[in-house]
Amino acid sequence: MRVVLLGPPGAGKGTQAQVIAGRLGVPAISTGDIFRANVSGQTELGKQAKSYMDAGDLVPDEITVAMVKDRLAETDAKGGFLLDGFPRTIAQGEQLRGSLQELGHHLDCVLELVVDEDELVRRLSGRRMLVDGEWVQRDDDKPETVRHRLEVYREQTAPLSGFYASEGLLAQIDAIGSIEEVTARAMAALERPGQSDDS
C-alpha cells in the first residue's frame, strides 16, 4: 500500500506513522526525521535545511522533492510506503503524483489526522523527545515557532486536503483519543478510502 499521512504539527503523525506502517508491513518515511538526522550528522543537506527548520519554515521544494525521490527509489519502498510529512505543499503533491506515475504506481489513500488548534498548541509545548537518554525539547517546539509552524500548515499544507479529496483519496480521521483508538480509526479508514470518519 502507498499511503500519505497528512495533519498539522502535533497531530501525532510520527507516532501513528510507526504503528500503521508496522501493521501494513511498509516503511514509514518521515521527511522531518530525515532532515533532523542530516542536521545532526552535519551533512550538506542538513546544512541547507537547518535554518528553515529552526525558523519553523518549510525547506524549499527543490531540496525536499529530490530527497524524497531518492528515498522512494530505495529497495524497501518498492512495494509500498507510508509517507509522514510529505507532501506539505500542492507543488510537492503534484511532484509526488508525477514520480509515482513514472513508476506506474499511484497512492492508495491519504489519511488526514484532524485535531483542533488549541489541542495542538497544548501538545506541542509539552512535547519532549528522547536524545541520548535525555528528554529534550525540539528547537522548533518553542511557543513562537509552534505558532508559526501552525500558520505555515494552514497556508501551505492544509490545501492538500482538498487536493486529495478531489481525487477521491482522502480519509479524515479524528486524532483525539488514545494512540490505540486513533490507530483503530486509521486502519478502518484504510479499508474504505475516500470516505470520512463521522465518529
Q: Which residues bind ligand ADP (CB under 6 A)?
A: 9, 13, 31-32, 35, 52-53, 56-59, 64, 85-86, 88, 92, 140, 149
The type of residue at 162 is G
Contacts of 112 (CB under 8 A, 6+ apart): 6, 7, 161, 164, 170, 171, 172, 173
Q: Look-up: residue for cell 517546539?
A: 141
Min dist CB 191 to ligand ADP, Å, is 26
If the CB atoms of residues 31 and 172 are measured against ligand ADP, the closer one turns out to be 31
Distances 78 to 2, 12, 171 between C-alpha atoms, Å: 10, 26, 23
If the CB atoms of residues 13 and 185 are measured against ligand ADP, the closer one turns out to be 13
Task: Report yes or no: 106 and 2 within 8 Å, Cβ to Cβ.
Answer: yes
Task: Report yes or no: 117 and 150 within 8 Å, Cβ to Cβ.
Answer: yes
Min dist CB 137 to ligand ADP, Å, is 12
Q: Which residues belong to the annotated binding site for ATP? A: 10-15, 127, 177
Q: Which of 2, 13, 71, 185 is catalytic?
A: 13
Q: Which of 50, 123, 138, 142 is catalytic?
A: 138
Assess whether 71 carries a catalytic annotation: no
Q: Which of 69, 127, 142, 147 is catalytic?
A: 127
Active site residues: 13, 88, 127, 138, 149
